[in-house]
Structures are given as structure tokens and as C-alpha cells.
Amino acid sequence: MKTHVFGQHDERTLAQFYDVAQRAVQAALMADGHLGYVMPIGGVAAYRNQVSPVGVGFDIACGNAAIRTNLHLEKIEKHLEELADEIAATVSFGLGRTNRADDAPTDHPLFEDEAWEAIPKAHREALREKARAQLGTVGGGNHYVDLFVDEKGRIWVGVHFGSRGLGHSIASGFMALAQNRAWGERVPESETLLDLKSPLGQAYWAAMNLAGRYAYAGREWVARKVVALLGGREEELVHNHHNFAWKETHGGEELVVVRKGATPAFPGQKGFVGGSMGDDAVILQGSTDPGARPLQEAALFSTVHGAGRVMSRRQALGKRGKAGAVSPEAMRSWLGRKGVILRGGDLDEAPQVYRRLSDVLEAQGPTVKVLHVLRPLVVVMAGPGEFDPYKD
């Protein structure tokens, strides 16, 4: 068993990582890592013909998509406030768990995919209809729709969210089945490795990939919807999952690689990685420098998916009438200095609760190369206090 840790982490995160690594062929922890359910966020683990549903997580196929448009800042700069309002009014966030747009993609071909057969028959149609209603909704927590400008003044649209209730139901359902309990029954979060040759393992793999296609369709629909709102045209799409499992070849052997809050970064592969509501994001790619190859192999060709939290939501928000570690004034001051227009959002997503993206990227060493730095102009998220059970 081989392990590699990028960056600095607290003892509990490291303990989670090394516990998971004991049952893996190889494991790595990215520099944005922090405590998760069983497996830390930022963790990567490779297995021989096995998959870990709790490793993939509840928000299956959560990921980032960014579209570079043909627009430049001077074209929309005077209209950013109204564009922020229009995005917030058009895209469904937080508790708006059904897509209210007239052109919502409810007839997407994935709803007829044979992978639905992997869902127990008694629950299949209800879950399909829930998924149909939610496709193209963003959710809450750290999920967002952002407008950015790059170093050449070009406008990008970036989104971050996953497979919504579909992924959550698949994750919790298969965790229950793996513990010999009924689908829909609440069970403890624990690591059960499913053999991909077993019927249960095959069913999970099919359902996980269905959630992946669903998340891709949702993110691309939202991002393209916002490009249309801007009156722009798509010129480039950068799109990755960061809560998923893939069959990949490492060291000449096919392995199942679980990335929980980690972005695939093979040589030349592009990724969009956000910082926080008040920090720059980046478009990066896996390094093509042969000298970086050993460290890339140690990372299982992965990199960070964000900046990584340094405090919990409860610490940021406070509890029982006690103020949290971040004040509204401090958050507004940070955003004001950066010139960010915010709609929604809460103190548990303030820039102060995250590491700086530049620091975690530096800790990843030469494994990735930054292609573009994206400065946030508009950030739209679910409003304060909105509960979302499907966030990652």
C-alpha cells in the first residue's frame, strides 16, 4: 500500500485518510483535504475491482463546469447587478428543488437509460420522477453559479453542483443494501467495499454512472442557460466530476480509483477549480512535463477540487445565540475589496472559512499547470439558512 499526502492537515483528517488507505492498493490526499464521512474530502483511493460507496459519497458526481464565452468584460460590466438578479431568478437554488424553467430538460434521454434497472423496482419510478423534476437545479451549501473574467478580459460562466436527490438516494440506498438493510433505511456511514463482480457491486456501478451522466447534463444545462442569459456564445467547455469512481490503469494495472473531492488531472487534462466566493478560481491542466510524472503517479493523477475548508459550518455560523467565527461585516468587507456581487450565500461559505486556492495549488507542486486565473464578478448561491440535504 502506497500513500502520499500533499499539504498540511489536522490529525483527524490524516487519521481518516490512513484508515481508508489500509484497505486500498494506493491512496493520496490532496492539499485541500479536510474531514469527511469516513473518507476525507480530498482523498483518493485505488482498489482492485472494488468500489466504496461511502468513498464516492452522498453527492455522487458533484463537480465543476466552466464555459468560456465570446463576451468580454466591457460588454457586460455595467449590467452585472441586473445579471446577478436574473441568474438568481432563473436558476433554482436551495429549497427550490424542482426546475421552474419552461425549457427544463425533463425529456433528457438519460431518463430512458437501462441503468435505471439497477434501482430496486419498488423505488425506481418515484426516484426517476424526482430526478426528472430536479435536473438543472443547483442546490445549497457550497454549490454556486458564478461569472468570472480571465486575464484577457474574457467572461466565463462557472457552476458547481452534483446529482441532487438522485445521487443522494443511490448512495444511501446502496449503503443500506451493503449492510443487509432495506433500501431507504437509514444506516451508519461506514466503509463497505463492493466487489464489482457481485450483483450488488454491478448494480451500484451502473447507478453511480447514471448519476454521473445526470450531473453532467444538469451542470451543462445550467451553465449554457446562463451563457444565453448573458447573450453570449460558448467557445470552450471544461468539465469534471470530483466525487466519483473510475476504472483507470496505474502502474500497468487496471484499478478502480475513487476520488472524493479530488479532480482528475492526467497530463494535458483540463479542470476548473474554484476558490471561494471571494477568491480567484483557475482553469488548470495536468502537467505534461516528464519530470512531474513521479509526483503525478503518487497523486493517482489527481489534484484539488477547491480551496478546502479550515472551519466547519457550525464554527462559522455560531450556535444557540452565540456568534460564529465570521461576522456579516467581515464577509461583506472581503467581498467589497474584491468587487464581488453576491446573491444568496451565508457566513458558512464566507472566504474566511476556506484556505487560499493559490496555497493549495502550490502544495500540489508541479503536478498541474494553471492556464487561466478567473476573477469572480458575480456569485449566486442558495440564500442564508436554506437547508439542502443533497449538498456534498
Domain boundaries, the chain: 2-380
CATH architecture of the region 2-380: Alpha-Beta Complex (3.90)
Measured distance CA(53)–CA(36) in Å, rounded: 13
For the chain, counts of helices (H) and of strands (E)? 11, 19
Percentage with pLDDT > 90 across the chain: 87
- pLDDT digits 0-9 by tens, 17-31: 999 999 999 999 999
Segment holding 126, helix H or strand E:
helix 121-134
Residue 193 per-residue DSSP state: P
- DSSP states of 248-272 as a string? EEETTEEEEEEEESEEE--BT-EEE
Model confidence at 321: pLDDT above 90: no
Question: What rounded mean pLDDT belongs to the chain?
Answer: 94
- Beta pairing, strands 234-241 & 243-250: unpaired
- Band (pLDDT 50/70/90 cuts) for residue 97 is low
Is residue 315 exposed (0-12), middle (13-18) or buried (19+ Cβ within 10 Å)? middle
- Band (pLDDT 50/70/90 cuts) for residue 96 is very low
Measured distance CA(113)–CA(129) in Å, rounded: 14
Q: What is the pLDDT of residue 385?
A: 57
